[in-house]
Amino acid sequence: MATVLKVLAALGAVLNLFLLIRKIPQMRADEDGAEKWNESKKYAPYNTIVGVVANFLDVFGIGSFATTSSAFKLGKSVRDGDIAGTMIAGDTVPMCLEAFLFAKLAGVDGLTLGVLIVAAVAGSLIGSSLITKLNIQGMRLMLGVGMIILGIMMALRVFAVGPFGLTGDGTALSGGRLIIAAVVMFFLGILMNIGVGLYAPCMALCCGLGMSVTATLPVVMGASALLMAFGNGPQFIRAGKFDPLAVITQIIGGAVGVLIAYFFVKTLDVKYITMVIAAVVLVTGFMFFRDYSNGKPKRRA
């Protein structure tokens, strides 16, 4: 199973890099794409640091989407309408790298892993087909909702409330529990398109249904990487709903962050970091709602 995950993660990274190599020159040849590229130059160092930090923290279970979306919004370094697509297209390669490096942790039943990943990918495909059609106001509304949900889930996980504090010792799901998990993973795949990270809810779901944390980790990492690589990543790239230069900085910075975490940092107390990020994410959600209510373009929006 570890070998299968590695192969799929590598293929997913190559696929999305290939699509980006084709798409970015096309976007730069377009007036709006060229404008985005020129605007983003002054934010390139900032966005690279965001990529490093967000994906470093992702390895320790905090999730890259929470940090990235908040940083983009607070720093005004990516237009509101491009935040979701830039996060997804930019974090896909680092997430695939993470899944590749940590595939050795795979200790979960193959059927369970396969069903849950397929369900998440299917949800991401359906969700991305809808999200890529939204205008900037629609994106602000969806991101606002997503950030509020994500901030609440991060806080629940920190304090181990309800299913976020449960854990079992199993390595597989079967029967009704597998069906329930697949349905929930399908909807989590949809929510990934509006910035709701998969890590916390997937951990709560699988552990709450009786799986151990060790068995759940391959599901979390595999589903996150593959739903982006084969689901919403290609969709957002083809639609051109992203900031091209910011995506490049996310890929480079994100890969560096994952490698630092993998090779140099073995443990990290993430409780207080997660609490701070949860608060920032909630504030970011209300900022999206504020801009949605104002109903007029903001600077860099």
Residue 107 has pLDDT above 80, yes or no: no
Residue 301 has pLDDT above 50, yes or no: no
pLDDT tens readout for residues 162-190: 677 666 778 788 888 899 989 989 988 88
Identify the pLDDT of residue 106. 60
The length of the chain in residues reads 301
Whether this prediction's pTM lies above 0.85 is answered by no
Percent of the chain's residues with pLDDT above 70: 94
Q: Which of 79-93, 98-112, 199-213, 262-276 has the highest mean pLDDT?
A: 79-93
Residue 47 has pLDDT above 70, yes or no: yes
58 — pLDDT class (breaks 50, 70, 90) = confident
